[in-house]
A and B are shown apart, each in its own frame.
Chain A
């Protein structure tokens, strides 16, 4: 641990400038600059999180940038460049990569499990086997690819600014092939699989990651702490609700799928 020269030199030795403290902080910044800076800080925080920087280091980096900006009186983009580049250049220490990849893996497994339920819930209720046609095979392959690629491309997805055309392209790519196959004779059943094994595997894929996340993590994990501040002793209700929803999102969606299957089956009769 390096010696703290601060202690040795004392406050009397501090470098002073004519622009010290509040007197030097350049006046009122335009509303537009403030809005842009708020976006910059949001993106900077996300970038540091994506780089797996620890919460207290993120709080420190953000507070340092705010301090410099208040003095310089220019925009964050001007002062620090792009948030992505600045976050990388700071080269702050990070948490082990395994923990970050684990998050993406658990999300990918949950998606696979949820898809398993959409295939097998209704056939199980009806006592039938799951019919696999070309359209289903295409969707299974697409979901599999998404689940495998999710950990790798998690950073890209998070950085992406959602646009309407992206939703349209995703919808066309997602549903287009299966709809096209259904229309042009793809409804032909290739083979059948018993529903129960798919339900069991899907249950494991949905429940195990959620339980794992709940047990291993808490809302107190690595919070972003402002310098000199302390982590909130008890997170707000909305924070706890949001984290709970995220952890159990695949389980909740699975319940919706099962409700559709259970309630839809009598209606179908």
Chain B
């Protein structure tokens, strides 16, 4: 059974990578990212959590942002993975898999005798 919300420390560790993964299929905007993560079972992701991450990734060159015009306003800000972001996603995904396996194995087997 999925808990109501994940421990904040776990979310802090995993959210960045999951945001990058959400952007992998193509450019999308802030609320769509939050919705996709919520649908994936991460719980409600607030704007106050999401945008600082996106800003950090933009500064790191992993994502690029572009405003697309909307009716009667600035429209929506779309975020897209850059080449550097795709490499980062690939690297981090590999490392996370290794880490998750390590944790899982440890939880299953316990400390080496």
Which residues of A are at the interface with B, using a C-beta cutoff of 8 A? 2-6, 9, 13-17, 19-22, 24, 60-61, 63-65, 67-69, 71-72, 78-81, 85-86, 89-93, 226-229
Contacts and interface: CB of A to CB of B under 8 A. Distances in A.
Contacts, number: 124
B74 A226 contact: yes
Given A4-B66, A69-B47, A227-B77, A15 B30 contact: no
B69 interface: yes
Interface string B66-110: 110111011111101111111000000000000000000000000
Contacts of B78: 6, 14
B80 to A, nearest CB: 4
A3 B82 contact: yes
Given A67-B30, A90-B52, A15 B84 contact: no
A107 B84 CA distance: 46
B64 interface: yes
Interface residues of B, number: 44
Given A5-B81, A227-B67, A17 B36 contact: yes
A5 B27 contact: yes
B46 A79 contact: yes
B54 to A, nearest CB: 8
B7 interface: no
Given A67-B31, A227-B74, 9 more contacts: A4-B64, A9-B26, A16-B32, A17-B35, A19-B35, A24-B31, A71-B30, A71-B31, A90-B51
17 contacts: A2-B84, A5-B85, A6-B27, A6-B66, A6-B78, A16-B32, A19-B32, A21-B76, A22-B71, A63-B73, A67-B76, A69-B47, A80-B46, A80-B51, A89-B48, A91-B55, A228-B75
